[in-house]
Amino acid sequence: MIRVELPAHLRTLARVGGEVSIEVDGPVTLRSVLDALEATYPVLRGTIRDHGTLKRRAFLRFFACEQDLSHQPPDEALPPPVASGAEPFLIIGALAGG
């Protein structure tokens, strides 16, 4: 199971309380994790990645294992502790605005 931590507004939208766990088939990458997340919670489609281009929305970042993975290629493997479930994959909203 992959552990994913969502920003507060997306937790509300997805109607989940805290960290979520999702199944990922095959290699654990940004793309496969986000695909699985959106398949489990369809309401999140378009809120993390653009519907058409699947590009990360500008004010969101992806962190895990004390690394910023936001600019990692979508099909590159995520750190092993994320794949094993030892560490969560963090989706972070930028600290901006009022």
Partner 1 sequence: MSGVRLLVGTRKGAFIMTADGKRDKWTISEPHFGGWELYHLKASPANPNRLYASQTSGWFGQIMQRSDDGGKTWEPIGNKFEYATVPGTHQWYDGTPHPWEFKRVWHIEPSLTDPDTVFAGVEDAALFRTTDAGQTWQEMPGLREHGSGSRWQPGAGGLCLHTIVLDPSNPQRMFIAISAAGAFRTDDGGKSWTPINQGLRSPHIPDPTADVGHCVHRIAMHRSRPQTLFMQKHWDVMRTDDAGNSWREVSGNLPTDFGFPIDVHAHEPETIFVVPIKSDSEHYPPEGKLRVYRSRTGGNEWEPLTNGLPQRDCYVNVLRDAMAVDSLDSCGVYFGTTGGQVYASPDGGEHWSAIARDLPAVLSVEVQTLATA
Q: How far is the CB of 51 from partner 1 (least distance, A)?
A: 5
> DSSP of 40-85, one letter per residue?
H-GGGTTTSB-TTT-PBPTTEEEEETTEE-TTS-TTSBPPHHHHHT
Residue 84 as a binder of partner 1 (CB under 8 A): the answer is: no
Tell me the C-alpha distance between 62 and 56, whole Å. 9
Give the residue with the Cβ less far from partner 1, 33 or 83. Answer: 33
Question: What track of x and - describes contact with partner 1 for positions 34 through 73 (by CB under 8 A)?
Answer: ---------x-xxxx-xxx----x-xx-------------
Pairing, β 20-22 against β 2-5: antiparallel
Near partner 1 by CB under 8 A: residue from 2, 3, 4, 10: 10
Q: What's the min distance (Å) between Cβ of 85 and partner 1? A: 26
CA distance 40 to 76: 22
Task: Report the interface residues with partner 1, using CB under 8 A.
Answer: 7-10, 13, 43, 45-48, 50-52, 57, 59-60, 93-94, 96-97
